[in-house]
Amino acid sequence: MDIHRYKTAFASIIALAVLLYAIPGTTGAQMDTVINGLQKRYEKITTYKVKFHQTLTSPVFKKVIREADGVIYYAKPGKIRWEYKKPEKRLYLMDGEFFWDYDPSSKLVMKVPMNDALAGDVPHGFLFGAGNLKKDFKLKPLAKSDESQSKTYSVSLVPKDKDLRSVLSDLVLVISTEDYSVVGSSFTDAQGNVNEYTFSDIVINPELDPELFRFKIPHGAKVILPITESEQKANP
Average pLDDT over all residues of the chain = 74
> How many domains would you assign to the chain?
1
Bridge partners (DSSP) of residue 172 are 156, 186
User: Amino acid letter at 30?
Assistant: Q
Cα separation of 128 and 194, whole Å? 26
In one-letter notation, the amino acid at residue 117 is A
User: What digits encode the pLDDT tens for the residues 185-206?
Assistant: 888 776 788 888 888 888 888 9
Range in 61-65, 146-150, 162-166, 217-221 the model is least confident about: 146-150
pLDDT of residue 68: 94
Q: What is the DSSP letter of 213?
A: G
Look at residues 185, 181, 182 and name the one whose alpha carbon lies nearest to residue 196.
185
Residue 151 φ/ψ region, left for φ over 0, alpha for ψ in the -120 to 50 degree band, beta for the rest: left
What's the pLDDT tens digit per position in 36-78? 665 566 667 788 888 999 999 998 888 999 999 999 998 888 7
Which 3-state string (H, E, C) describes 9-55? Answer: HHHHHHHHHHHCCCCCCCCCCCHHHHHHHHHHHHHHCCEEEEEEEEE
Q: Which CATH number is 13's domain given? A: 2.50.20.10
Q: Which domain holds residue 200?
A: 3-234
Four-point Cα dihedral 174, 69, 60, 11, nearest 10: 60
Of 179 and 80, more confident: 80
